Structure 1
Amino acid sequence: MATNSNSGFMNIEKLTGRENYSTWSFAVQAYMQLEDLWQCTEVSPNTDIEIKKDVKAKSKLILLIDPMLYVHIREAKTTKEVWDNLTRAFDDSGLSRKVGLLKDLINTTLETSSCVEDYVNKIMTAAHRLRNIGFKVDDEWLGTLMLAGLPDLYKPMIMAIESSGVQISADLIKTKLLQEIKATETTAYFSNSKHQHQKYNPHHKQGQQKGPRCYNCNKYGHLGKNCWFKKNKTDTKDNNGFIAAFSASTHNDSMHWYIDSGATMHMTMHKDWLEDISTSNVKSIRIADNKVLHVEGCGNVTINVPDEQGSVSKIQVRNVLYVPDLSTNLLSVSKIIKSGCKIEFNESECNIFNQNGQNIAKAGLVSDLYKLITNEKKAQAFPAVVDEDVCLWHQRMGHLNFTDTKKLPSCTTGVKLTPSKEDIKCISCIEAKQTRQSFPSEGSRATELLEVIHSDVCGPMQTASLGGARYFVTFIDDLSRKVFVYPIKSKAEVLEKFNEFKNLVENELNKKIKKLRTDNGKEYINRNFDSYLKKSGILHQTTVPYTPEQNGLSERMNRTIIEKSKCMLFNAQLQNCYCSTGRSSGHGSIYH
C-alpha cells in the first residue's frame, strides 16, 4: 500500500534565510525523521543502499530551499554536506543575532502593531527565536513585557492584575490581552468637513486602511497636497486649531453637557464655571461647519451628577477650554478615556466608569445626542459651602462601618454629614472584606488588665513595606481590647517584640502579664520563647493545631487591619508597598 508522503513536504515553508532557519530546520528534521532519512544528515554514505538513500534525502532537502540560496549548496556532494553548509550559513546564534532579536522584542508595542493578535504574535515569535538560539527568556519577564508595551489607556487593567495577586506568566497575559482588549475595542465616529460620518477604530493601522497615508494629518485616504486640514487652516498665524463635531448654528443648549466623540478637547462657553483659569496653548478650534472659534482660556469645571443612591456626587473635569461663541458644552470622549476612565454606549444611554469600575456619570440619548444627566439645581459649578458626606468620612476613618460613621457628628466636633439613605454601599469594602461565616464560640473575659494577652503573626505579605517588613505581630489585651502592632521583617523577631511590649505595658500599668494566648506557630513554640515565658512566670496557652478559630480575637484583628489597609489602597489607588502596617521599627496602638 502506497502512502502519500508529500503531504507533510508541501506544508513546510521553504528556507529563505536566517529569519526562518530556526523554524525551518525544526520542521525539516521532523519530516526527515518521518521519512526515515534523518541519519543521512549526520553521516556520509558508505554502501550502495546508503548512497541510494542519501540521493533521495538530498533531493528532498534541496526542494525545501529557496532557489536563491542554491549558491550555498551547489558544490555539496552528500546530504550531510548540504545540511552542514546551511547550518554554517544561517544558524546564527551569535551576539549580534541575540541583540537584534532582543531589540525587536523590547521595541514592540501595541501602538506599533496592527491589532492585539499581531502584537501578541510579534512578542511570542521574537521570544521563541531567542530561545531557539540558546538565550534564556524568563516566562514572568515575558508576561510583564507584554504589559509594558500597552498604552496608558490600559493602566487600570494592569492595576487589576497586580491587585489580584496571581503569578504573572506569558500564557496568562496573552490570554488576558486577547480576551479583554479585543472585547473592549469599540467603533467611534468623527465628522469631516462634508458632515459625513466614517467609522474609526483606534487599532487600525496602515495594512487595514484604504488609500495612501497623509503626511500632514496622519490619516488615510488622501495625499498631503490634498489634505483638507491643511487647506482649511485659518488665515491668521494660529496653527492650534482643533475639530469639534457640533456646529454653532445647528444646536443651542448652553446649560447642559454633551458627550462628543468628535471633540478633541473639553469645551464650555461659561467662564464662571471655570476654576483655576489660565492661558490656553490652544488658540482656536474649528467646528463641523468649518467655522473657527476663538479660545480665551482654560480651567477646571466641577459638575454635580446624581449617584446611584439618589444623592449628589461631584466630578471634576480638567483642562476645559473656554470658548465664548460655542453653542454647546462638550465633553471629549478621547480625553475621558485618556484620563483612565471607560465609556460604554448603548441604544438609549452612555455610562462613564472610573478606574475602579464605579459608574460615576450617565448620559441619556436626547435627539440622537448623548446629554449628560446632571443635578439641575447645581449643574453650573461647585457649591460654595457643603457638608461632608457619609462616604467621604467612611473612607477617612479607614472604611469604618456606616452605622458607626453616622455617629461621628454626635461624638466629635466639626463633623457634619449630609442625610443619606440606609442602603449606602462601598465597592472597596465589598471587594476587600469578603469572608466566610463566623465560627460560633463561647468563653469568658478577663477581669483585669494584662490578665490575658492574645498574640498572632500575620504574613508574609506579597509586597514588603517601605521599611522592608513582610509580617506584623499583634498583642491584644483581653479586657481593654487595646492592640499593639509591631511590623517585623521575619518571624524570628517575635520574641524581641514581645519583650519590648512586655517591658512597656508592665512599666505603664505596674502590673504583670499573667497569660499569653497564641497558636502553635514555630515563632511561639520554640526553646527560646518557652524559656523566656518560664523565667517571667507567664502561662502559655496554645490553640488546637489547625484551629485558628480558637485564637479568634487575634485572627479577627489581623483581618481588621488588613481590610483597612486594602480599602485605603483600593480607594487611593496606591502601590502595594503602602498596604503594609508601617516601617520595621517602632510600634503602634489602636483601639477596637
Structure 2
Amino acid sequence: MTDDKWKMLDRKTVSFIRQWLDDSVFQNVSTKCSAYSLWKKLEGLYERKTAGNKAFLIRKLVNLKYKEGTSIPKHLNEIQSITNQLSSMKMSLDDELQTLLLLSSLPESWETLMVSLSNSAPDGIVIMSQVTSSLLNEELRRKNSATSHIDSQTLVLENRGMSKSKDRSDSRVGRSKSRSRKNIVYYNYGEKEHYKNQCKQPKKNKKMGKEVEYIESKENITTKVQGASYHATPRREFFGTYRFENFGVVKMGNYGTTNIIDIGDIHIKTNLSCKLVLKDVRHVIDLRLNLISVGRLQAKAYGEHFNATKKDFSIDPALSRKMYALDCVYTDVCGPLRTKTPGGSVNVPSISGALYFITFIDDFFRKVWAYALKTKDQVINVFKEFHARVERETKRQLKYIRSDNDGEYIRLFNNYCRSHDIQHELTVSDMPQHNIIAERMNRTITEKIRCMLSQAKLPKRFWDEALRTAVDVINLSPCTALDGDVVEHVWSGKDVSYRHLRVFGCRAFTYVSNNERSKLDGKTKECIFVGYSHDQFSYRL
C-alpha cells in the first residue's frame, strides 16, 4: 500500500469515528488527526483499565437479564460485548464462567431448559457452544409452537357454527342456527335474509361502515383489510423485537375482549420486491386474521385500489421517490412577493426588477434551482435554460415535470414538452398537496429570505440576492430524503467544502485595482456580502 493511499484511508477512518462522537466528546479529541492517536485518546478517556471500570463491567454482566421476547442472538451479543471489554482490560473469563452467567441471566420460563442442560453436562461442566445451540433451538421451537397454537385457534374459530352433519341436501341440517337466513344481512344494503349470490342489486360503493377485503401474501396468510383504528396481528414471529406487557384491551367482533400484549413494527415484503413497514402494530393473540387499517395507511400517504378478489396498496405518486436523476422534477412559481403597508399590500420588486421566482427540484437528488422572474411569461425561457443545463450536467434526459394546474404552465409548457419528449404532469386544481415537494420548498426558501434580510437589516428589495444564497445553503445542507447526505455532494459526486461560506449581509472589502485608484486612494472598498457567483469563483458584493 502506498503512503498516499494509507493517508487517505487514515483520514477516512478519522472522519468516520468523529461522526459518531458527541459534541462534548469531540472537544477532547479535536486535535487528534490520525486514527491511532484518536483511538488511543478515546481509550484513555472511556476505557481506562482501572479497578472501578472493571467492577462496573462485572456488575453489569452479573445483573444482565434476558428480557422475554428479545431475540436470543441479541442477548448473546450483549454478553459477548461486555466480555470483550473485560478482555481488553487484561481480565479474561473462562468458558464455563461465561456459560454459567448466561444461564443465570435467563428468566423462570426457561427453567426447564436450564435444568436439562445442567443435568446433561459431563462432570457438571457446561460448554458455551452447546448452551448457545440449545438456546437458539429452544427459541425456534417456541416460535413454531406459538404459530401452531394460533393456527389451531383459527381452525376452531372457522369451523365454529358448522354442524356435525355432512348431509348438504337438507339446508336446515347442514348449518347451525348462527348461519340461518334470518341472522344474515343483505350483501349490499345491510338488510337481512339473503346471501350474496342471491342479491339482485348492484354492489354499492359505501363510504361509511366497514370496508372489508382480503389479500393473500406469499406465506398464504389471509389478511383482512378494514377500516380499523390500528393494525393488528396474532402472529408473534412477525415482530422483530418483542416484550410481554399489558397494552390494554381490545373489543372483538363477537363482543368479547382480549388483551394487547405487544406493540411493534412489522416489515412486509411485497411481490414488487419492495418493503412496506407497518408502524405500531398490535399483537392480539386471539385474532383469527391479520388486520390492516386502511385509515392508518391513508394517513401515511398510501393510496389503495380494490378489485373483486384482492386489495392492492400503492404509494401516492406525489410522494414516491424516483430512482434516477431527472426522472421527475417538481416546479412551482412563487409570487408576486408583497409587503404590507398602511395603505395595503404592495409588490416588492427586487433590485433587478423581479417580482416572482420559480423553483425546480429533482425528485431523487433533491437538488434545488431557483430563478427570479420579472413576469410570468418568462417561465418558458427559464425552463429552457434549466432543461439544457441539467441534461448537460447529468447526461440524462428529463422524463417528467410536475407543476400546478396554472395558466403559465398549461399554455407555454405543453408544446415544448411534447417536442422534447417530456411528460408534463399537472396537479388537480386547488390541490397543492399533489405538488407538495415544490410547495414546501417555496415556503422554506421564503422563510430563509425573510430571516436573512431581517438579520442583515437590508431593504426588502434585496430578496433576489437572498434567494440565491438560500438555495446555495439548501444544496450544501444534509437532506433527510438522502439519509443525511449533502445534496450537492450526491448530485456532483465531489466532496463539499464549506470554507467559502460567509454570513449573508456581513461587511466585506473588495480590492480596488491600480487602474481604478490614484496613489492616495485606498486599496480596498467596503461592501456588503449578498451571495456567491455561479459563473466564477467569486462573491457577490
For the aligned pair, the TM-score class normalised by the smaller chain equals under 0.3
TM-score normalised over the length of structure 1: 0.25
